[in-house]
Amino acid sequence: MLLTVYNYNGGPCYWCLFPTPPPTTACQRCADSGFLGVVPGIIGCLQALEAIKIAVNNNWTNPFSQVAALIELICSVPPKVKIRGRSVQCEVCGGNSTFDRQQFLEFDYEKFTQTPLSVSPLKLNLFPTDSRISSKEYNERILDGEAHVLVDVWPSHHYKIVSLPKSLNIPLATLEARLPEISSALKEEEERKGYWF
C-alpha cells in the first residue's frame, strides 16, 4: 500500500505520477485480489491523520507530501523501541506488591486518572446559531486583523500535544473562574492592534 498526500505544497498530483491507467488485467476488486478487510480501515485512519496534519499546519507536523510511505502490513516489521524492564518497586507487579484481585475489582480509575468517565450520553448545551462561528468565518476574521482571543478549553495535557497558534488554554472545568483572564487577554490584543476606546 502507498500512503502519500497529492497536490499539496508543491507536490505532484495523482495524474503527475500515474499519467496512464494500468492495464485492465491489473485492476481487481479488493475481495478478488486478496485484501484483508482491516487494511483499508487502517489506511483510511492514516489518511485521516494526514488531513489533520495539513489542517493543523504546525511546524512540527510533516505530511507525506513529495514522499510516500510504503505500507505492507503482513510481512513488514514496524520500527521497534526498547522499553524499560519490570520495576521491582511497582505497586501492582513488584516483588513487594500487595495488590490483589479484590483491589483490582475495586480500583477507582476515575480517581487514578483524575478524569471523570461519562456513563451516559452528554447533554450538550450548545450556543444558539447566532452565537457560533464557523472555521471559515474565523479565518476571515484573522485575515481581516480583527482583535480576538481564541480560547482552547481542552485539558492542559491535550493542549500540549496539539493546539492552534496563539490560542489561550483554559480548561473547560476552570473556564467560569478564569473569565477575567479572557477579558485581560482581549484588552491586550486590542491595544496591540491599536484599538482605542
Q: What is the pLDDT of residues 48-73, one digit of tens each?
A: 999 998 888 776 678 888 888 887 77
Which of 111, 184, 121, 181 has the alpha carbon at shortest distance from 153?
181
pTM metric for this prediction: 0.44
- Which pLDDT score, from 0 to 100, does residue 197 have? 45
Mean pLDDT along residues 39-46? 88
For the chain, the first-to-last Cα distance in angstroms comes to: 59
Q: Hey, where are the domains in the chain?
A: 2-70, 131-192
- Which pLDDT score, from 0 to 100, does residue 81 have? 64
CA distance 43 to 49: 10
pLDDT at 43 over 80: yes
- Which pLDDT score, from 0 to 100, does residue 151 have? 94
Count of CA atoms in the C-beta half-sphere (13 A) of 94 = 8
Q: What CATH fold (topology level) applies to the domain 131-192?
A: Oxidized Rhodanese; domain 1 (3.40.250)
- Dihedral angle computed from the Cα positions of residues 153, 156, 157 and 163, in that order, rounded to the nearest 10 degrees: 60
